[in-house]
Amino acid sequence: MTTTLRPTGPERRAADGARSRSYDICVNGRPAGGLRLATDERFGPSAGRIEELAVHGPDRRRGRATVAALAAEEVLRGWGCRRIEASVPADAGPALRLAAALGYTERSRSMARELSEAPALPPGSTVRPLEADEYPAWLESRREAYARLWTEWGMDPARARARSGADHAELLPDGPDTAGTALRVLVHGGADVGTLWLATARARGSGAWVFDIEVAPAHRGRGHGRTLMLAAERECLAAGVRTLGLNVFTDNTAALRLYESLGHRPTAHHLYKPLL
């Protein structure tokens, strides 16, 4: 039997170079599933993304998804993409195994934890609000760090800076007074040792989300990252939120181990593969 892709409609293009198209996965001309491809809005036209890939029940476990995924790579190469991206739910075992077999690498993962009761902070540690006069310097440092992170993952530096500025402006429209946002400073032994950026009310998705924790270089390796996460849990519960989520880059082994030790479990894996 022959597995092919058949477009379900015309390709969509935007002025900034973005492209997308949906396909039927066909077996001898018979629809057996669906595929949707698009350029990745973060990286631009140089990166493509599998936004959806599904094979209907009777045609599963027959290699249809493998053929469709390989055909998707060919389509994206034709678009000029140099990398393909995909996000897979943590409970989608077959999809994760397929991605591994096709050579995808995990870049980051989303994790979450259900909260029950507020933990105590370690002795000598307290948390205070980030003050208005501290906000500009904090924002600039976070914008620079965010842009640098994406540049390291292959994003054009100018695009990374623009993306960082746009994302921070969207997420913090009113600065430290943004509704549903907690910007906090961790104080230990009378010294400011780290910061927390937490959204307790998200426009997208449910639950709270840790956007950033940062421990000052001179104070790292002393457990302050864990304390900041405990502070995030306390903020969530005080706001009446019982689900805490975050995203972690999987090459950040120390952070990944910290979140796992606190009970966070994967909800989605974010993967990529170079298109040679």
Separation between Cα atoms, residue 5 and residue 58, nearest integer Å: 18
Q: Verify that 263 and 146 share a domain, yes or no.
A: yes
Residues 85/105, Cβ–Cβ less than 8 Å: no
- Same domain flag for 9 and 97: yes
Backbone angles phi, psi at 156, to 5 degrees: -55, 135
Give, in order, the Cα–Cα distances in Å from 223 to each of 19, 212, 228, 262: 45, 16, 9, 12
Inside any domain, residue 28: yes
pLDDT at 205: 58
First to last CA, the chain: 28
pTM, rounded to two decimals: 0.92
Q: Are residues 70 and 174 in the same domain?
A: no
Picking from 44, 79, 103, the residue at the C-terminal end of a domain is: 103
Q: Using CA atoms, how far apart are residues 45 and 11, in angstroms rounded to an integer?
A: 14
Do residues 15 and 129 both lie within one domain?
no
Do 185 and 194 contact (CB within 8 A), yes or no? yes
Domain with 85 in it: what CATH number?
3.40.630.30
Please give the full DSSP string across 178-242, using - where no structure is assigned: -TTEEEEEEEETTEEEEEEEEESS-SSSSSEEEEEEEE-GGGTTSSHHHHHHHHHHHHHHHTT--
| Element (DSSP H or E) covering residue 140 | helix 135-152
**Residue 275 placed within a domain:** no
Share of the chain above pLDDT 70, in %: 98
Q: Is 160 within a domain?
A: yes
Query: How much is the average pLDDT of 252-273?
Result: 96
Domain boundary, last residue among 84, 103, 122: 103
Range of the domain at 21: 3-103
Residue 132 lies inside a defined structural domain of this protein: yes
Query: Is there a single domain that holds both residue 35 and residue 59?
Result: yes
Give the whole-angstrom CA distance, residue 249 versus residue 108. 4
State yes or no: pLDDT of 42 exceeds 60.
Answer: yes
Which pLDDT does position 224 carry in this prediction?
A: 98
- Is residue 140 located within the same domain as residue 224? yes
Residues 173 and 92 in one domain: no
Q: Are residues 117 and 87 both part of a single domain?
A: no
Number of domains the chain is built from: 2
On whether both 85 and 125 belong to a single domain, the answer is no
**Does residue 276 fall inside a structural domain?**
no
Instruction: Classify residue 108: in a domain, yes or no.
Output: no
pLDDT digits (tens, 9 = 90+) for 151-203: 988 888 999 999 999 999 999 999 999 999 999 999 999 999 999 999 997 64
pLDDT mean over 29-39: 96
118, 243: one domain: yes
Domain membership flag for residue 148: yes
Q: Among all chains, which residue has been given the structure tokens 């054009």? A: 156
Residue 254 maps to a domain:
yes
SS3 content of the chain, % helix, strand, coil (to 5): 35, 35, 30
Predicted pLDDT at 154: 81
Q: What is the mean pLDDT of the chain?
A: 94
pLDDT of residue 157: 92
Last residue of a domain, one of 103, 125, 140: 103
Q: Which run of H or of E encompasses 245?
A: strand 243-249
The whole-number average pLDDT for the span 29-49 is: 93
Based on the domain organization, do 187 and 158 belong to the same domain? yes
d(CA 7, CA 239): 47
124-149 burial: b if 16+ Cβ within 10 Å, else e = ebebeebeeeeeeebbeebbeebbee
| pLDDT of 264 over the 70 cut | yes
Point out which residues pair with 184 in neighbouring strands.
129, 196
Are both 241 and 117 inside the same structural domain?
yes
